[in-house]
Chain A
Amino acid sequence: MSEVIVVTSGKGGVGKTTTSANVGTGLAAMGKKVVLIDTDIGLRNLDVVMGLENRIVYNLVDVIEGKCRVKQALIKDKRYQSLYLMPSAQTKDKSAVNPQQMVKMVQQLKEQFDYIILDCPAGIERGFQNAIAGADRALVVTTPEVSAIRDADRIIGLLEAKEFKQIDLIINRLRYDMVKRGEMMTAADVVDILSIPLIGIVPDDENVVIATNQGEPLVGGSTMAGRAYQNICQRVLGEDIPFIDFEKTISFWTRVTGIFHKN
Chain B
Amino acid sequence: MDLGRIFRKKSSREIAKDRLKILLISDRVNCSPEMMEMIKTDIAKVISKYMKIDAQSMEIQITKTGVKGRGKTQSLYASIPILDLNK
Contact = CB atoms under 8 A, between A and B. Distances in A.
Interface of B is mostly: helix
Contacts, number: 44
A195 B69 contact: yes
Contacts of A145: 16
Interface residues of A, number: 21
Given A150-B27, A153-B24, A193 B13 contact: no
A230 to B, nearest CB: 28
Interface residues of B, number: 17
A209 to B, nearest CB: 25
Contact of B21 (A154, A157, A193): A193
Interface string A204-226: 00000000000000000000000
Interface of B: 11-14, 16-17, 19-21, 23-24, 27-28, 67-70
Interface of A: 145-146, 149-150, 153-154, 156-157, 160, 179, 181-186, 189, 192-193, 195-196
13 contacts: A146-B19, A146-B23, A150-B20, A150-B23, A153-B28, A156-B70, A157-B28, A179-B13, A193-B17, A193-B21, A195-B69, A195-B70, A196-B70
